Structure 1
Amino acid sequence: MDENPWEDEYIKPLRLSKRRDSRSSQPDNEFKMRPIRLTSKTEDTPDLAHERKSEELPSPQTPRRRSIQIKNLPIIEKSPPKLRIESNSSDFIFAICLVDFHHIRGPEIQWWKSNYLETIDSNLFKNLPFQSLPDGSHLFEETFSNFNLVYDFSTNKSYDNLNDLINFNDDPRNLKTLFGCSCIRQININELSEEELKRNKDIKRSIIQKALVIINKDKPIFTKIKDKLSIITRSYFLQDNLSNFDVLENLFENLNNEINFNDNEEFFINLNLKQSLLQLGNKMLIIFKALLLEKKILIYSNNKLELLTKFQNNLISLIPNLINNLIYSGCQLSDYQEIYNGKLVKPTSLNTENRDSMLKFFGLPLKIFNTKGSFWNPYLPLQQINQLNFPETKSFMIGCSNLLFVNQSKDLGVDLLINLDTYEMSSPNGLNSELSLTSNDKAFMSNLISKCSADVVDDENENFIGNDDYIRYQFEDYLLSLLSTVRFNQYVQKFGQYPPGFSNASNSINEDNNVYNGDLSIFNSSFINSWKTTENFDIWDLTCDEFIFNFINPRHVQVDFNNESAISSFFNNLNFKFKNLNVDDEETKPNKFINKKFSDEDFKQSKDKKKWFFNK
């Protein structure tokens, strides 16, 4: 194992196909975006190979599993019910507001309209103006910011700072996360009409800066409303009278009545995950594994405020379906296990035509931020820095644009500090071996980066090799192979033997390197041991099916690719030897046995040089 997790190697480029994993040489075992083929008949020992289509043949390098016992799950047609926020309104949009920067009083809410609160007072969302107008936003004519708010729908209270958390005495199960998205824009006072200048005689600065903010519940909607928010903000500033809020009223009605927020496909559009991957390289996998270990992650940018949000949304997109499970992510007091009273159970049914049902079968999404002591906030202003000192805080992922966060990162207990202005990553308090990448981890990233670096189009599937969806699918495959390996290892530890259809010898990939199914060291044993101590692992262990290794190879996703590459390389080298041999046209077949007495002198006298080559 490489002990240097920060090693940044130059990696060659490569590229994509529409299939989720073109690496695996075992299509009958890989997990694809299509429904899993299960039998609905009641059988004691169903044969997986029999369930596959006849054209999906196993790899010749890996023995076919003759019998794999899996549980018979009832197939259902309906999707499992989704968790719904209880409140006095079913509207997805919580509120729209306009935040103005006053030259004396600082940022303040100028206009407010909500489905839940007719008016807003100084005790509600105390940091909303500072979150809407982040530090450094004055450097841009237009930029965007995202942030989280914590609200109790039963008491109509918000929890905004350390004092609110310390003095909390209500039911933490009622705390919900609201997601704010602001478009910040500024204009020069010279662009204002004379009438507007007369109405605002107290303006003492050369620019006017405002932020139009949309606050919603359930899940972030940054990419779905960004363009609309930009157009409306620009239209508002083009008015002769900035006290006219009709355009904002129309936006409120439009968002409530005309936009469909249930379409999940648009949540990760235009986030440019590929750029972040190419800039960070292997460090992207380190950050991903740090999320699983519930580390304290601080992400800083002063020159790229919009990227601050995009980068965090990209990290969230690497964990399947996490985007739809963030309503308890904004507060250290929320606990997913408490909300369900600890009655977490494994799936008892599977809808193979429903992706959410299949992800639930594998215990996904992992509850990274939804446990007590963990939280996420895409932008935390300086006014909330003391929130990181809350005694119950164990982990977080936050974004910031103030350099004081960086300067105090060691005192704040930050494990990973990512500077998006320079794409540098550091560990203020030192990094343990648990985040060191194994050789297979590095090979996985090397192949992924090379494919993303080469602009190759897959004409057959009409898709682009290396696009954002492709990257997300590769990380999903990595995560699924990790979960399957852990489950396989748990089975072996519990029963002292391999599951039916598996054996140590027959499923080895490379006996010299001792790479077998269920080998945890291939992911880094220290990482696995550390992950098993986290809250999200406990929830996953209670909610994931016991036999997922029957669907996903219980080994590192890179192993199959290594095996396939080695075989391909062998035949390519052999073909190269044939092409470069100076032989006669006489056709001869190679001898089955090697004649060791056949010498070089024999070659000079031999007319059959192909025969000499194979005997040699």
Structure 2
Amino acid sequence: MGAGPPIAGGFSPVSSSADSPSARSDHTILGTGTPSKRSTAASLGTLGGGLGLRVRVRDGDVPLVLGVAVVDFNHLIGPTVEFAHPASLAEALAADDELSRLLPFLALPDGAHLSEEDYSYFHCAFNPRAGAEPNTEVPWGRTIFGISCNRQIAASDLLHKSSDVTRSMVQKAVIVLASQPVFGPVRDRLGVVTRAFFAQRDFGSTQILHDFYESLEAGLEGKAGENAIYMGTSLRELVHKFRHRTLVLLKMLLLQKRVMLFGYPVEMLCTYQYSLVSLVPGLLMNLRDCGSPMLDARTQRTRPTSLRTSDRASLLRYMGLPLHLFGADAVFQPYLPLQQMDMLQAHSWLIGTTNQIVTQQRDCKYDLLANIETMTFDFPDSKVERLVALTAADRKWMDDIVKTVEDTWNLPEGERPGFLGSDDDLRNRFEEYLCAFLASIKYADFVGRRGSQDPAAAGVSSPGEPNPLFHFGEAFTASFRQTPAYELWNSTTDEVIFDLTEPRHPMEGKVNAFSDVGIRLAEGLHDLKIEESLAPTRAAVSSAFAAGSSSLFRAFDGVRSEVNNRLEAEKARRAAAAAEREKNSPNGSPSGSRPESATALAPSTPAAANRPASVASNRSGNSTGAPTASPNASPGIDVRTTLGSVGSSISGFFGSRVASFSRATPPPPPPEPRRNSGRNSGLRPMSLAGSATAASPKKPGT
């Protein structure tokens, strides 16, 4: 049984005992090079016996923290356990080959390399092989609860790199095993220790893990109660995520159907399942049989003989709670690796997975697949979907819960919700719902047995009263009566528990058809995710509108600026032209300018009034029929160009035409006079109008 020297009474890391891959395979717990059972047991047993712990654990004397372990992902032989502390845990791993084989895959989930840090919650059971008598504090015949924190580091950053590190990244996970699901108090401490363990850059130094185990033992003392266990759940997150379908999940759980949650990250996947289980009062503290289909210790439960109404735990026991949902042939595994797919053959399970291969098993088909990434529910059998469909009272009840959570969800930073909408408030509401459901079952059975002989024997019934199970769903209730959980509950509870809880739905008498239609429409619109779908479109439209508005405003500013610039330039040009004319004129009068009287008398006829100003001035200034270009014509046209680029183009067009008419060429001979010349004189060309009125040639002899 010779092996490398153990480290401070713990599990000797493989890297410290051997450096070669061949030597490492002698200590491999799982992989292609798995050694024989005897060699594995011998090495682990010797390494775990460093403290010489040989104490037989009695029933009921189980420590809360069972130990700390480290799992390494070896690229040559697969994931392995390379460290375990205390010696009691190493002894248990040596005696149970199945536990030592599965533990690395439970701690290092699929896709662990995709994130910098992630957590995995899992369940396992200690079942030593035949003939082994380990001296360990790890209990057998019950569930062991594990939580792991996995991280990765670049191989080049390690201070001491062993020869079996062949890739650029090194993945490891630090595990805490406990006898109760105290994930909430452990989770934050585990994350801090894991980050510090990686920050050392030397995985051979495990003293920090020894200190972590000792601090957990002291820090969790007296924290195995209900409040400590609920710290790892978030009912607000569950209701915010699944909304009305939270009750659908609970009904599937009560019917002991096969429920599978799929998605990533692993921690969120596991937290949703624990939050769902916590909706059943007391169930989270009674999961000792959920780790394996072979475990079933709670079937020996007997009917309570006493009741203390001031004690909540006594009231719950009298009501038959918690329901035994995970017993024989039932499994609850928050994270299920491929190596545990044989568990899918159980009759009932609640599992989570990140691998689509698990979701595609035809021989072990699920009853409900809930995708936490797309928020879709897949029911292969429509009959099951109808069994768990919400009634009008259920929808109204869940709608009040959802509104309470949504109203207190986006609070200002640093502000927490009060009791209304808190986890305690939600837990109390679901407890009230479940107790009312169970009391209604007992009440319906009581009335059915008594018939019409004594309808008011219990003081709560009256003739013609409707069935109290109607608002919970009669088909759902009938299916619940066929479950093993109902059989055990019915046989261990009193017949008149409805004396403690009113046998009626919390929303009975508070629902009408119109409000139910509104709830259906509102939830249907929410399921369509219109807000999420239109968010990119809304953002694009807003961005385009803002960009278009800015461009339009810039265009207007540009036009206005251009007009102002043209006006200023025109004023400066006219001032310069006026100064030049004054300078060149001896008498101070601009050359070539016409008198104001001529300008006023120019448009004397209708035809002349419609002519351009430059043509009219030519006609009045020169009556001989030889028009010349007026020096004032151009400034008049240029002033109008300041109205914009369009006006400038138009004035340029007319300016070119005027220039062509102003050439010093003799006018063409006048046309022969016609009988209707006076009527059509207004239609003649503008250049001919002046010639016709200035001189009328006469024929000889007339």
Alignment of 1:92-107 (within 5 A): 92-107=64-79
2:260 matched residue in structure 1: 298
Pair 1:350-2:336 in alignment: no
1:353 CA drift (Å): 3.2
Q: In structure 2, how many angstroms separate the alpha carbons of the residues matched to 1:96 and 1:310?
A: 21
Pick one of 135, 142, 154 that aligns with 2:110.
135
Give the direction of change, closer, same or farther, for the CA distance of 1:131–1:282 in structure 2 (3 Å limit).
Answer: same
Pair 1:361-2:314 in alignment: no
1:486 matched residue in structure 2: 441
1:503 aligned partner, one-letter code: S
1:304 CA drift (Å): 1.6
Pair 1:450-2:398 in alignment: no
1:337 CA drift (Å): 5.5
Alignment of 1:565-576 (within 5 A): none
Contact 1:221 1:267 in 2 (8 A): yes
Aligned to 2:118, the other structure's residue is in SS state strand
Offset from partner CA, 1:173-219 (integer Å, 9 cap, x none): 962111111011112234333xx2xx4243222221110001111x2
Between structures 1 and 2, the one with greater helix share? 2
1:145 matched residue in structure 2: 120
2:106 aligned partner, one-letter code: Q
2:631 matched residue in structure 1: none
Give the direction of change, closer, same or farther, for the CA distance of 1:557–1:153 in structure 2 (3 Å limit).
Answer: farther
Give the direction of change, closer, same or farther, for the CA distance of 1:540–1:253 in structure 2 (3 Å limit).
Answer: same
1:358 CA drift (Å): 1.2
Aligned to 2:508, the other structure's residue is in SS state helix
1:116 aligned partner, one-letter code: S
The percentage of counterpart residues that share the same residue type is: 30
Give the direction of change, closer, same or farther, for the CA distance of 1:97–1:89 in structure 2 (3 Å limit).
Answer: farther
Contact 2:182 2:232 in 1 (8 A): no
Aligned to 2:126, the other structure's residue is in SS state strand
Unaligned 5+ segments in structure 2 are 1-56, 134-138, 516-702
Q: Which has the higher contact order (CA 8 A, sep 6+)?
A: 1
Q: In structure 1, how many angstroms separate the alpha carbons of the residues matched to 2:229 and 2:131?
A: 29
Aligned to 2:292, the other structure's residue is in SS state coil
Give the direction of change, closer, same or farther, for the CA distance of 1:148–1:519 in structure 2 (3 Å limit).
Answer: same
Pick one of 183, 190, 194 that aligns with 1:233.
194
Give the direction of change, closer, same or farther, for the CA distance of 1:462–1:315 in structure 2 (3 Å limit).
Answer: closer
> TM-score, length-normalised on structure 2?
0.59
1:110 matched residue in structure 2: 82
Pair 1:554-2:503 in alignment: yes
Offset from partner CA, 1:123-162 (integer Å, 9 cap, x none): 141111011000011111111001111224796979xxxx
Q: In structure 1, how many angstroms separate the alpha carbons of the residues matched to 2:235 and 2:341?
A: 28
Contact 1:308 1:378 in 2 (8 A): yes
1:284 CA drift (Å): 1.1
> TM-score, length-normalised on structure 1?
0.67
2:496 aligned partner, one-letter code: F
Contact 1:89 1:115 in 2 (8 A): no
1:561 CA drift (Å): 4.8
Q: In structure 1, how many angstroms separate the alpha carbons of the residues matched to 2:73 and 2:207?
A: 21
Give the direction of change, closer, same or farther, for the CA distance of 1:245–1:560 in structure 2 (3 Å limit).
Answer: farther
Aligned to 1:187, the other structure's residue is in SS state strand
Give the direction of change, closer, same or farther, for the CA distance of 1:384–1:153 in structure 2 (3 Å limit).
Answer: closer
Q: In structure 2, how many angstroms separate the alpha carbons of the residues matched to 1:418 and 1:116?
A: 39
1:475 CA drift (Å): 1.0
1:541 CA drift (Å): 0.8
1:541 matched residue in structure 2: 490
Offset from partner CA, 1:389-444 (integer Å, 9 cap, x none): 3xxx2111111111101222x43121011111222111134443321211111111
Pair 1:385-2:347 in alignment: no
1:397 matched residue in structure 2: 350
Contact 2:71 2:172 in 1 (8 A): yes
1:187 matched residue in structure 2: 153
1:41 matched residue in structure 2: none
2:436 aligned partner, one-letter code: S
1:388 aligned partner, one-letter code: L
Pick one of 365, 390, 395 that aligns with 1:437.
390
Alignment of 1:184-583 (within 5 A): 184-193=150-159, 196=160, 199-217=161-179, 219-260=180-221, 261-269=223-231, 271-301=233-263, 303-336=264-297, 338=299, 340=300, 344-370=301-327, 372-389=328-345, 393-408=346-361, 410-432=362-384, 433-455=386-408, 463-496=418-451, 497-504=455-462, 516=466, 518-559=467-508, 561-562=510-511
Contact 1:519 1:555 in 2 (8 A): yes
Contact 2:119 2:266 in 1 (8 A): yes
Q: In structure 2, how many angstroms separate the alpha carbons of the residues matched to 1:224 and 1:270?
A: 7
Range with greater deviation from structure 2 (461-470 or 526-535): 461-470
Provide the alpha-carbon RMSD of the alignment. Answer: 2.7
Contact 2:121 2:335 in 1 (8 A): yes
1:123 matched residue in structure 2: 97
2:121 aligned partner, one-letter code: N
Contact 1:299 1:419 in 2 (8 A): yes
Give the direction of change, closer, same or farther, for the CA distance of 1:407–1:240 in structure 2 (3 Å limit).
Answer: closer
1:211 aligned partner, one-letter code: A
Q: In structure 2, how many angstroms separate the alpha carbons of the residues matched to 1:446 and 1:429?
A: 26
Aligned to 2:349, the other structure's residue is in SS state strand
Unaligned 5+ segments in structure 1 are 1-84, 159-172, 509-515, 567-616
Contact 2:266 2:335 in 1 (8 A): no
Give the direction of change, closer, same or farther, for the CA distance of 1:536–1:157 in structure 2 (3 Å limit).
Answer: farther
Q: In structure 1, how many angstroms separate the alpha carbons of the residues matched to 2:242 and 2:364?
A: 24
1:112 aligned partner, one-letter code: A
Aligned to 1:537, the other structure's residue is in SS state helix
1:326 aligned partner, one-letter code: L
Larger Rg: 2
